[in-house]
């Protein structure tokens, strides 16, 4: 029997046929979905904390149910509805302060990116931190320009005080520094 072992692959011992894929530190997909829920809820809370009346209790319960639906089924695309509701809320009333706009820009991008990541995984999956880090770096690159545009938009709509201007510069600088700190994709040769 030993003579045929080297020639016939299915007669080899099981350990020779197994493939071991090295995996770095990872996070459960359920934790990513919980983070998605926290980001979606935070997006709505920040949007409704601006000028104008707060949501009615029944509407607030519906918004919470929407966030739960986003967590349970991110592949449906309801995260876009969360962002749309936040955007409409900000557009309908007086312009919010710069800090609220900056927070919303960051939360909207993170909510949509996390929803896309959660939509590609099952509840039992694990996502490597390296994958999350590379994705967050891409989000941070977009954030630098989005925050700069948000500061300009707020400055056009309402006058900025010196403190607001410095907060805007600090937010854009922080995102630029984040781009430098997060891991870069390895170049293939």
Return the CA Rg of the chain.
23
Distances (CA, A) of 8 to 15, 27, 63, 106, 117: 15, 40, 61, 58, 42
| Whole-angstrom distance, CA of residue 72 vs CA of residue 61 | 16
User: What is the domain range of residue 85?
Assistant: 28-181
Tokens representing 98 are 């710069």
In a domain, 160, yes or no: yes
Lowest mean pLDDT among 15-19, 80-84, 136-140: 15-19
Asked if residue 7 is part of any domain, the answer here is no
Structural domain contains residue 187? no
Residue 146, in any domain of the structure: yes
Instruction: Determine, yes or no, domain membership for 153.
Output: yes
| 3-class DSSP assignment, residue 184 | coil
Assess if residue 84 is contained within a domain: yes
- Flag whether 64 is in a domain: yes
User: The pTM is what?
Assistant: 0.74
Total number of domains constituting the chain: 1
**How much is the mean pLDDT over the chain?**
81
């Amino acid at each position: 029997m030993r003579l045929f072992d080297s020639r016939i692959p299915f007669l080899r011992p099981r350990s020779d046929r197994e493939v071991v894929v090295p995996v770095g530190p990872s996070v459960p997909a359920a934790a990513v979905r919980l983070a998605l829920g926290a980001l979606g809820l935070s997006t709505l809370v920040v949007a409704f904390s601006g000028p104008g009346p707060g949501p009615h209790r029944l509407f607030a319960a519906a918004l919470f149910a929407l966030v739960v639906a986003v967590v349970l089924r991110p592949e449906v695309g309801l995260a876009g509805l969360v962002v749309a509701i936040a955007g409409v809320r900000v557009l309908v009333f007086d312009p919010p302060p710069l800090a609220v706009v900056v927070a919303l820009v960051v939360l909207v991008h993170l909510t949509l990116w996390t929803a896309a990541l959660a939509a590609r995984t099952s509840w039992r999956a694990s996502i490597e931190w390296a994958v999350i880090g590379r994705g967050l770096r891409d989000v941070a690159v977009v954030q630098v320009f989005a925050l700069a545009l948000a500061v300009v938009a707020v400055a056009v709509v309402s006058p900025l005080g010196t403190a607001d201007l410095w907060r805007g510069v600090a937010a854009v600088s922080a995102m630029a520094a984040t781009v430098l700190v997060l891991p870069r994709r390895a170049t293939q040769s």
